[in-house]
Structure 1
Amino acid sequence: MMETSIWQPMVDRLDRLRAAGRRVDFWLRDDDAVEPTAALDRLVDLAGRFSVPITLAVIPAHTSGELSRYLAHRDDISVAVHGWTHRNHAPPAEKRQELGGHRPREVVLDELKRGHSHLKALHSSSYVPLLVPPWNRIDPGFLDGLPDIGFTALSVFGPERKSPSKPAKMKNGSIASAFPRPGLSLINTHVDVMDWHGTRGCRNHREIIQDIVRRMDELDVDEEAVGILTHHLVHDESVWEFLSRLFELTSVHPACRWRRVSDLIAR
């Protein structure tokens, strides 16, 4: 039974969308996958119960055929490139970055090319040419090299476009201002379930729901979606409880649909 008082604002917003003949797209991005684990099993089983497609951001340098065999017959799971080693190259005084401007451009792009080739070979049927920078940060100077590697989309955290009244707060600088750009789509996540700067467990459920409703209020074009960000390896029970309730509500409401990231890139 859902806690009506907590979830009601989201239900009310969805009901208004339905009354207006509109609906909102959701997508799920889960970061840091490397190998099959009990936590990944739990995520896959939970999402599968509600027909929610998953985009796994996989760390290329640390993964192998074990994960590809695990995902071989799972049609609703897509694989994206999560940097190369997920290693920080920024000095202590700066925020962590693997894809920052701290190393030669050709070195960084070569690693991304290797990651793209490695995952495409391992996951031929589920691979999507989507780059997910570790820590959601990438130096804008690398963007023009991504299409040459084969990437057609980038995913960080935050709005895809800046609002005149509320500037986008991007974790990686002004990436939003670099789009639209030829050959590369920006398909972001917008709601993080984790309290990284506090308990390192689940955030307060009410606050997560408020973020979802706020994101829905921002949407004014059909090409945009609500991106939910998860990290299965560090979920506590409160995260699993939240996701179960979120999936339960959204999977049956006529104003919602969960999308594969490839569908969002294609449009």
Structure 2
Amino acid sequence: MVEVLPGNDTIRSTWQYLFVEAADPRTSGWLLMGNPIPVVSILFAYLYFVLKCGPNYMKDKQPYSLKRIMMVYNLLQVAANVYLFNEAIYMWSRFDWNCQPLDLTTSAFAMRQSWGCYLYFLNKISDLLDTVFFVLRKKNKQISFLHLFHHTMMPFVTWIMVKYFPGGHITFIGLANTFVHILLYGYYYLAALGPNIQKYLWWKKYITRLQLIQFCLVFIHNTQLLVFDCDFPKWTVLLTLPNAIFFYYLFNDFYKQSYDAPKKDDKQKEKIKSK
């Protein structure tokens, strides 16, 4: 006779509630959506490769070029984000911009929202390849805490969205984010074309500014859940608002280090030369 450990029933009932009863039944059967184990495993494998396995593998090797692969990847990302942005525009053209409830029906429009959220989640998984390319090209200096935190957090947060509330108010995040990513991956594609094109890409810093504006808009838009009865889960602000604040802080720090600090150094050098 197998002895049942104390607490096993509690664990089972908690698991059943969290990932079956409380979840959206429309999306729970989709790939990677049954429970968090698959997506968490992907993220652990990602971090293991980026922080340990990948650098060890590349230690005594020449960096891979990957130029053509990255150009194709960036073009596909642009196409994917254009599609997702178009879906978001379609949804929000029918939404109340102030306050949008969650539609849990199986109507064609509700399912289109759910499917759009799911594709957005899969797109965040594909974003992990950015870091893999950095490792294989031995661009480890570009793998900052900001980069790792952003790429690790987004797949998990979007998994939660698809699992419990795929549609409605929170999809404003996808609307803003996909627009920014169209420009971001478009920039990456153009930069990969070489120095003759890179000299015209003076607008890189404005993409970061746009990302900062994005976080402010997301914060303001989701704060409305605390003010209005939007018929949308209010607890989601515990997920969205801290992330918006922390992302703003990290991206703002990146902007200062990348663009403001070099300007100060140049001014100091000019002062020294003029003396």
TM-score by length of 2: 0.22
TM-score by length of 1: 0.22
The structure in which a higher percent of residues are helix is 2
The structure in which a higher percent of residues are strand is 1
Greater Rg over alpha carbons, structure: 2
